[in-house]
Amino acid sequence: MTSEAPALDIHHDPAALRFSTTVDGHEAELLYSLRGQQMVIDHTGVPQAIGGRGVAAALVRAAFDHARGQGWRVVPACSYSAAYVQRHPEYADLVA
């Protein structure tokens, strides 16, 4: 697994509370919910075919950057997002 996420075209659909990207024809997603001024990252899903390329990291980074821009705190409820914060202390200030 790579430690740095590649530059990907990440799409944010605020109505669906979802970030997504497509790599080699496979779609990966991050789903979140909102609790007031908190973004709760509920799920990060990357198909096995594109796993190990930093796709999940790119999605989580996009979500954290969006939350920062909105002035929200983040609850990393899915295991991947919680592990991401451990590896990237630059986002620790956002964790609720």
Q: Percent of the chain having pLDDT more than 90?
A: 93
First-residue to last-residue Cα distance in the chain: 28
The band of 6, judged by pLDDT with boundaries at 50, 70 and 90, is: low
Token pair of 26 as six digits: 């496979």
Longest dimension (CA), the chain: 36
The yes or no reply on domain 11-94 and CATH 3.40.630.30 is yes
The band of 1, judged by pLDDT with boundaries at 50, 70 and 90, is: very low
Which residues, at least 6 apart from 56, have a Cβ–Cβ distance to it below 8 Å? 28, 30, 44, 46, 80, 84
Q: Where are the alpha helices (DSSP H) in the chain?
A: 55-70, 79-87
Global confidence as pTM: 0.92
Residue ranges per structural domain of the chain: 11-94
Per residue in 63-85, pLDDT (tens digit) is 999 999 999 999 999 999 999 99
The band of 14, judged by pLDDT with boundaries at 50, 70 and 90, is: very high
